[in-house]
Structure 1
């Protein structure tokens, strides 16, 4: 799994660099920041709460015309949620490789951005406590949860920020469009529908001049 994950990350990074090399005016940058991530949806029999995680990656900016540019990115993003109920108290950690492709408009130091995002699940884990039985009470859980979640995620992203010189400060919200739950209820009627919701704040550095 680790080997496959590294190969996937290297492939996406290589494709992004090739895209930059093929565009004479392309600019490359790096970015990193914090996530406020939660799994929201329907038919969830537990409370889901935001958890603080992080993301990091690179971007390529491709000028189109005037203040408009297109910005593909490759980001590693740790997402998931806290799950709380009378029977469970655990965190789900979802490791994603996300590829947003954003339309970006910059006027002075202020910019706004929006577009689709495609995500590949690299791995999933659950850790915390679960109620084992009335006699045994609660026990710890720390296990792989790869089979509980679908391998792809589609989302819409939108954000804004300021760019002064080569320094970028921004905030973004991404809303998952598809149900990522991959565990079916026994009767098939009330399956939980889980969707990624992520609030991001980030710092970036752009290399080269505009």
Structure 2
């Protein structure tokens, strides 16, 4: 899969410049982690920034690979825990884009690589000899608690403005379990999946007026 993605990106970048447009983008991530039993997930605001390359294929259809730095995660809360998780990702969406007038629709897969992770707040920190969990307020690195790879599907829409600017919104839904930790009792924790709502602004260099 990695080889196929590299071949796709290289082929797109070899298209004639007249049929492609580079751009920069950035915006808001509203993210949560879903799937943990016994803890309520809630959304937390983060951000993302990146670059993209829109290659025209046929008529209103184009392909848009992107490279992004995306900060996501969320808040998890129970009767005893209340903590935030920050996940720093390098993401590569590869989207099909349909543009009709000023309106565009986009959808496709996204591949993510976890760079690092941190957790802070009230969480379980140890077990007493009798097996009773102990809780405390901590801030700690948590990269080892999450899988490095993340696969998502992306869907969104937006509006092209004048002078190469555009505004858009997306839903990024994680498909695989990113949890890679065992709890202090030695039992695997439930599945965790990323869910991110994105709102962004973009600028394309050399876009038609």
How high is the TM-score relative to the length of structure 2?
0.84
Give how far 1:101 is off.
0.2
**1:31-72, Cα deviation, whole Å (9 max, x unpaired):** 00001100012x522111100000000000010000000000
- Counterpart selection for 1:31 from 3, 25, 28: 25
2:189 aligns with 191
1:125 aligns with 118
Give how far 1:183 is off.
1.4
- Counterpart selection for 1:66 from 45, 53, 59: 59
Runs of 4+ aligned residues of structure 1 deviating over 4 Å after TM superposition are 18-21, 131-134, 185-188
2:203 aligns with 205
The question of 1:47 aligning with 2:45 is answered no
Give how far 1:201 is off.
0.2
The question of 1:141 aligning with 2:134 is answered no
- 2-structure distance, mates of 1:209, 1:138: 55
- 2-structure distance, mates of 1:19, 1:87: 52
RMSD: 2.3
Change (3 A) 1:132 1:121: closer
Give how far 1:20 is off.
6.2
Question: Superposition pairs for residues 55-94 of structure 1, below 5 Å?
Answer: 55-94=48-87
Partner SS, residue 193 of structure 1: coil
- 1-structure distance, mates of 2:40, 2:121: 15
What is the total number of aligned residue pairs between the two structures? 192
- 1-structure distance, mates of 2:111, 2:137: 33
Question: Structure 2: which 5+ runs fail to align?
Answer: 1-7, 129-133
1:106 aligns with 99
- Counterpart selection for 2:176 from 175, 178, 184: 178
How high is the TM-score relative to the length of structure 1?
0.84
**1:61-95, Cα deviation, whole Å (9 max, x unpaired):** 01000000000000100010101112211100000
Give how far 1:26 is off.
1.6
Question: Structure 1: which 5+ runs fail to align?
Answer: 1-14
1:151 aligns with 148
Partner SS, residue 180 of structure 2: coil
